[in-house]
Amino acid sequence: MSNKHLEKDPSCKDDFDPKSLSAHAALEQIKASIKPVRGIEKIAIREALNRILAEDVRSRINVPSGTNSAMDGYAVHGTAIPADGTAELTVLGTAWAGKPFAGSVTSENCVRIMTGAIMPEGADTVIIQEDVQVTETGIIIDAATRAGDNVRQAGEDIAVGDLVLTQGRRLNPADIGLLASLGIAEAPVVRRLRVAFFSTGDELRSIGEPLSDGAIYDSNRYTLYGMLERMGADIIDMGVIKDDPNALEEAFAVAAANADVLITSGGVSVGDADYIKDILGKLGQVDFWKVAIKPGRPLAFGHVGDAVFFGLPGNPVSVMVTFYEFVQPALRKMTGEDTTGALTLKARCDSHLKKRPGRVEYQRGILQQDADGNLTVVKTGAQGSGILTSMSQANCFIILPIESSGIEPGMYVDIQPFSGLV
Ligand code: AMP
Ligand code: MG
């Protein structure tokens, strides 16, 4: 990716535009107008992987369920342990994990016990097997073990009634294992969002169609598909719609009637948006914004019928940046997802990054570690908004603040790992 001419962005001469809305203000406006969806499903915990928990989950059992041994050894009564010197105890039998010992222990005797076995009645301490001397009739113990050692108390991990998972959590493999450990077969999750999307543009062809002069394959529907699928949305792919007012009006109406959210790409930049503006004026309430973000400046947002509407720019990288910056937080608010875990990290930038003040930039970077374990980042190459390979090669965004006028190698930058975005 060293085609120098691709580095030029045709719109960079007006990077500073006082009429632009800041990315932060745009996101706040979007979030303020989003309402969480209603609708809870109870589904089997395996199906609940990656879904959003709709209610708090409390434990109905103790974990561990019974007081048990943490080690292989001998279960004794604490008073059997001598203050100094040694004591001899007879062995009554064995307690196995899953096969408890039926009798009870006094200060004269003990029970051989395996890790995980329920403590026999009367015993409160386990002396590990390495610390005893086995005789013909029993064992000899010394003063080294303290009363209560090597025992796991019932409920010491989770007690009955403890809060284990909080509403809004995106369930991960550990969570579904945790639910299983509590004997919970089904989890209450927020229903999937229905998200419709289509691409606009006379130049767009679908895969399988021949490419005539000036035509390009539609990639935005595929990146949108991937990003939405990862979020667990119910997807309605409406294909490519031509730059034709009737076809667009029809598509907007169909989407609004069937989806919670409609996302389009292309056709919202200054110059070609006018009839989309007219149509949306008839069907809903939509604002057209210039957002001080690069890539991805033109953005339409509002409501079409009852559906939330995002009109994303056409350029493939702009689609992804605006999706992650604006659409994803909105969808998360709709499902009530808790997003407190998202990380922004500092890394040493080993590339020269060109930038003009006036917009927040999301450059594409490759995050690595140097030999000393420090986080370092390099850019992926050409950073034009049409260069989708930059997103494919990257594993993070390098976020440059609005006032930044570029980065020299060795300076520190904010990066957002892609793995934290989804
Ligand atoms: P527009 O916002 O419609 O002016 O499009 C901006 C640029 O993005 C143009 O070069 C389009 O050809 C390109 N573009 C628009 N939609 C798509 C798409 N679905 N897939 C790939 N490129 C697109
Ligand atoms: Mg277009």
Q: Map the chain to HEC letters.
A: CCCHHHHCCCCHHHCCCCCCECHHHHHHHHHHCCCCCCCEEEEECCCCCCCEECCCEECCCCECCCCEECCCEEEECHHHCCCCCCEEEEEEEEEECCECCCCECCCCEEEEECCCCECCECCCEEEEHHHCEECCCEEEECCCCCCCCCEECCCCCECCCCEEECCCCECCHHHHHHHHHCCCCEEEEECCCEEEEEEECCCEECCCCCCCCCCEECCHHHHHHHHHHHHCCEEEEEEEECCCHHHHHHHHHHHHHHCCEEEEECCCCCCCCHHHHHHHHHHEEEEEEEECEECCCEEEEEEECCEEEEEECCCHHHHHHHHHHHHHHHHHHHHCCCCCCCCCEEEEECCCECCCCCCEEEEEEEEEECCCCCEEEEECCCCCCCCHHHHHHCCEEEEECCCCCCECCCCEEEEEEHHHCC
**pLDDT at site 346:** 97
Tell me if 204 CB under 6 Å of ligand 1: yes
**Nearest atom within ligand 1 for CA of residue 200:** 16
**pLDDT at site 342:** 74
Q: Which residues surround ligand 2, an ion (CB under 5 A)?
A: 201, 266-267, 314
Tell me if 384 CB under 6 Å of ligand 1: no
**pLDDT at site 341:** 72
- Give me ligand 2 centre to Cα 202, in Å: 7
Ligand nearest to the CA of 315: 1
**pLDDT at site 15:** 74
Tell me if 201 CB under 6 Å of ligand 1: yes
Between residues 10 and 150, the one the model is more confident about: 150
**In sequence order, what are the residues at sequence separation of 6 or more whose Cβ sits closer than 8 angstroms to the Cβ of residue 229?**
235
Give pLDDT tens digits for 51-71: 999 999 999 999 999 999 999
Of all protein residues, the one whose alpha carbon is nearest to atom 16 of ligand 1 is 314
pTM: 0.88
Average pLDDT over residues 13-40: 90
Tell me if 240 CB under 6 Å of ligand 1: no
Give pLDDT tens digits for 391-421: 999 999 999 999 999 999 999 999 999 987 7
Q: Indicate whether 13 pLDDT > 70.
A: no
Q: What's the CA gap between 200 and 240, in Å, rounded?
A: 6
Tell me if 218 CB under 6 Å of ligand 1: yes
Mean pLDDT of the chain: 93
Between residues 420 and 339, the one the model is more confident about: 339
**pLDDT at site 340:** 83
Q: Indicate whether 2 pLDDT > 70.
A: no
Give pLDDT tens digits for 215-245: 999 999 999 999 999 999 999 999 999 999 9
Question: 1 falls in which pLDDT band (50, 70, 90)?
Answer: very low
